[in-house]
Homo-oligomer: A and B are copies of this chain.
Amino acid sequence: MTASIITIGDELLIGQTIDTNSAWMAQQLNGMGIWVQRRVAVGDTREAILDALDAESATADIILITGGLGPTADDITKPTLWEYFGGEMVQHEPTLQRLMQLFESRGLPILQRNIDQALVPDSCTVLLNNWGLAPGMWFEKDGKVFVSMPGVPHEMKGIMQDHVIPRLQEQFQTKAVMHQTLLTSGMGESFVAEKLLQFEAKLPPHIKLAYLPSYGLLKLRLTALGEDKVSTAAELSLLFHEMKDLLAEIVVYDEDIPMGEVLGRLLKEKGKTVGTAESCTGGYIAHNITAVAGSSAYYTGSVVTYSNEMKMKMLGVSAATLEAHGAVSEETVREMVTGALKLLGTDYVIAVSGIMGPDGGSPEKPVGTVWVGAGSAEKMTVVKFRLMYDRERNIQMTAIYAMNELRKLL
């Protein structure tokens, strides 16, 4: 059972929008044992959409389509699908009701172009959109399923969860596809591959290993394809643990979750709290920690001390230290950790100070130089990194490295 994803919208082709929908949809389909064979992005033109429908349905069983369903003139997905599948345009009453109620409750006048959003070809099964206005549409043709959904992520997700996933589960019986991912840090892809040479050679053909470098981490994903869920899961689990043992020294976590969540789970387990004192990452580490639901169990607050003045005022870093060693130094980061432990009253603190670029570097401290500290009242690690990326990536990697230093300490 295979699927293709078609995303429609000029904004995808000029690079104004990063497509996050496809990844989410692919995860959902995979979870049901449906393999996504291709993802295609096309512009808001009739020909491009028709071509994509033909090309993808030639090889895939299920074609998920997002985008181009808005109320404005550039949105032409609906008329194009109407042309492709035929039928009459009819009013979808539940959508019209929802629409009227929504506009009324907001005290807004309803426009013809909004009313038109409730029009659908009668060749489709309508999937009510509980999160927005444009409904989803489920078509079938020559044994293939086509589903059109809005491009707004939370509307697409709502329609997938409310309608598409249950319907696909009902309609198709498929093989089990299972993934297990090991997060590692501290060894390059080639060296890990060398360590796994024998392991990889003996993998059965229905189990595949992929190396996924992700800033600061290397993810190792095992994918198994099997007839039976239980036996496939057991086989996968055995191999996964064998791989994990081979890489014991570099394992970060045995699940593909963000580093903030890895840290959160460890802190929760140990009943400890954490705070941050950030300079160059400007709040990004705190954001990574608080992005996790329930983080208030181990997180109470943070400071961002961007200027030297703030480092002195809020964290008690000494003027002499800043004078002698500069803000980007082991000494300053040590005092930031100590000061933040006192100020925030947490069990652990992560502190960072560095130069993220593009400006601010010097021959002794080039752009990308960063000091990372993690510590408690009892112990402290301070490590220097030299990053080589742009500002955005430097900030992201510093955050990952810093959280990983605390993870090691825990």
Contacts and interface: CB of A to CB of B under 8 A. Distances in A.
Given A25-B15, A193-B72, A309 B302 contact: no
A41 B38 contact: yes
Interface stretch (A5-13, A243-251, A370-378): A5-13
A310 interface: yes
A148 B29 CA distance: 29
B221 A11 contact: yes
Interface stretch (A79-87, A108-116, A138-146): A108-116
A163 interface: no
A395 interface: yes
Contact of A287 (B20, B256, B284): B284
Nearest to A399: B287
A39 B13 contact: yes
A322 interface: no
Contacts of A357: 293
A24 B17 CA distance: 10
A314 B193 CA distance: 49
Interface string A81-124: 00000000000000000000000000010010110000000000
Contacts of A344: 310
Given A188-B108, A391-B291, A304 B302 contact: yes
Contacts of A171: none
A213 B152 contact: yes
B287 A282 contact: yes
B287 A283 contact: yes
Nearest to A196: B72
A36 interface: yes
Given A189-B70, A219-B16, A302 B290 contact: no
Interface string A382-398: 00000011111101000
Contacts of A337: none
A303 interface: yes
B301 A305 contact: yes
Contact of A306 (B30, B48, B296, B358): B296
A26 interface: yes
Interface string A272-293: 0000101001111111011101
Nearest to A110: B190
B306 A310 contact: no
Interface in A328-376: 343-344, 357-359
A18 interface: yes
B19 A19 contact: yes
A208 to B, nearest CB: 7
A37 B14 contact: no
A57 interface: no
Given A10-B223, A276-B304, 17 more contacts: A13-B39, A18-B23, A37-B48, A38-B42, A74-B208, A74-B209, A108-B188, A154-B390, A282-B302, A283-B290, A290-B304, A290-B395, A294-B359, A301-B306, A303-B303, A303-B304, A303-B314
30 contacts: A14-B223, A18-B18, A18-B19, A18-B23, A19-B23, A38-B41, A38-B48, A39-B40, A70-B189, A71-B189, A72-B190, A73-B200, A74-B208, A108-B188, A153-B393, A276-B304, A282-B287, A282-B289, A282-B290, A282-B302, A287-B395, A290-B304, A291-B395, A295-B306, A296-B306, A301-B304, A301-B307, A302-B303, A303-B303, A303-B314
Interface of A: 10-20, 22-28, 30, 35-44, 48, 52, 55, 70-74, 108, 111, 113-114, 131, 152-154, 179, 181, 188-191, 193-194, 200, 208-214, 219, 221, 223, 256, 276, 278, 281-287, 289-291, 293-296, 299-307, 309-310, 314, 343-344, 357-359, 388-393, 395
